[in-house]
């Protein structure tokens, strides 16, 4: 499982190259969360001193097990043509670390803005995967953190045929979606079409097009060491032509 550590300052990468286990802060030494109207306050349990022009880190959350999963994301531009042979030249996808800020997922506390260090367990111990900026996440909200490009999952989409989607107006245009997965396990890939007012999508029978975080997306499952190769349909929505 991945370990998420929230810190208040930048941590050098070589500090995490050691195979030593991560230190755990005792309950007595951690700050306590308090509410003041819409504000979140953190009370330090004992007096502390901070030197001139210095900084001190105070832990407020320590979890031994947080449920997470990898989520891959691919950007789709349906007005690009999918030529014969393009399935051999797919593009990199982005890896995202997904969890929920709930007790069931091992969190359940207001997460303030700060640094996040994501680790992956290996035969040599926990290894640093990424150093990220964390925005505020209230309790109950989904948390997604970008971890960089994938070296095992690739994707490409585009329309097929002689007519571009814009030339077809409100009529549906065939498009092709290809995703390759070199991981041994099945994966979930989110295909992002951008602003919902740009496109309408009819994916396969097992997928749905939904709006998430302001974008029109479709999530597809790809088998381990396998390929997802499907024909979808796209068109411009009526709102796209409203100003014409």
- pLDDT digit string, tens, across residues 142-168: 998 898 899 999 999 999 998 999 999
CA-CA distance, 70 to 214, in Å (whole number)? 21
Which CATH number fits the domain 69-100+142-241, given the four candidates 3.40.50, 2.60.40, 1.10.3470, 1.10.10? Answer: 2.60.40
Split at pLDDT 50, 70, 90, the class of 65 is confident
Q: Two tokens at 46? A: 């004992």
For residue 15, give the DSSP letter: G
User: Closest Cα to residue 199, out of 226, 167, 165?
Assistant: 165
CA-CA distance, 176 to 84, in Å (whole number)? 11
Residue with the bigger pLDDT between 13 and 207: it is 207
Per-residue buried b or exposed e for 206-227, using 16+ beta carbons within 10 Å of the residue's own CB? ebebeeeeebbbbbbebeeeee
Q: pLDDT tens for residues 100-126?
A: 999 999 898 888 888 888 777 778 888
Assess contact for 165 and 78: CB atoms under 8 A.
yes
Query: What region does 240 belong to: left with phi over 0, alpha with psi -120 to 50, or beta?
Result: alpha
Residue with the bigger pLDDT between 85 and 59: it is 85
Spacing of C-alpha 2 from chain mean position: 14
Long-range CB pairs of 58-62 (<8 Å, 24+ gap) are: 58/8, 58/30, 58/31, 59/25, 59/29, 59/30, 59/31, 60/30, 60/31, 60/32, 60/33, 60/109, 61/6, 61/30, 61/107, 61/109, 61/111, 62/24, 62/25, 62/27, 62/30
Assess contact for 204 and 228: CB atoms under 8 A.
no
Whether the predicted model's global pTM rises above the 0.85 cut: no
pLDDT at position 57 is: 72
19-42 average pLDDT score = 63
205-229 average pLDDT score = 94
Per-residue buried b or exposed e for 38-55, using 16+ beta carbons within 10 Å of the residue's own CB? eeeeeeeeeeeeeeeeee
228-238 average pLDDT score = 94
Split at pLDDT 50, 70, 90, the class of 196 is very high
pLDDT at position 29 is: 66
Element (H, E) at 7: strand 3-7
pLDDT at position 228 is: 97
Q: pLDDT tens for residues 82-100?
A: 999 999 999 999 999 899 9
Q: Mean pLDDT of all residues in the chain?
A: 83
Residue whose pair of structure tokens reads 């032509």 in the numeric block: 241
Burial of 128 (0-12, 13-18, 19+ CB in 10 A): middle
Question: What residue segments make up the domains of the chain, in order of their start?
Answer: 1-65+102-140, 69-100+142-241
CA-CA distance, 112 to 148, in Å (whole number)? 22
């Amino acid at each position: 499982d991945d370990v998420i550590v929230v810190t208040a300052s930048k941590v050098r990468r070589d500090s995490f190259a050691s195979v030593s286990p991560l230190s755990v802060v005792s309950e007595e030494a951690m700050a306590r969360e308090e509410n003041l109207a819409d504000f979140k306050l953190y009370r330090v349990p004992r007096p502390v001193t901070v030197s001139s022009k210095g900084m001190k880190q105070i832990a407020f959350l320590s979890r031994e097990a947080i449920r997470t999963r990898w989520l891959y994301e691919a950007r789709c531009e349906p007005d690009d043509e999918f030529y014969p042979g393009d399935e051999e030249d797919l593009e990199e996808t982005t890896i995202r670390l997904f969890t929920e800020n709930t007790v069931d997922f091992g969190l359940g506390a207001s997460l303030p803005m700060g640094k996040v260090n994501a680790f992956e367990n290996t035969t040599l111990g926990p290894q640093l995967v990424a150093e990220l900026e964390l925005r505020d996440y209230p309790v109950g909200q989904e948390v997604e953190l970008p971890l960089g490009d994938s070296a095992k999952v690739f994707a490409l989409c585009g329309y097929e045929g002689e007519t571009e989607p814009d030339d077809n107006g409100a009529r549906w245009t065939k498009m092709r979606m290809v995703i390759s997965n070199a991981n041994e396990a099945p994966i979930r890939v989110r295909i992002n079409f951008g602003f919902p007012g740009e496109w309408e999508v009819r994916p396969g029978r097992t997928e749905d097009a939904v709006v998430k975080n302001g974008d029109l997306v479709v999530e597809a499952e790809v088998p381990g060491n396998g390929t997802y190769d499907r024909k979808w349909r796209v068109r411009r929505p009526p709102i796209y032509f409203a100003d014409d």
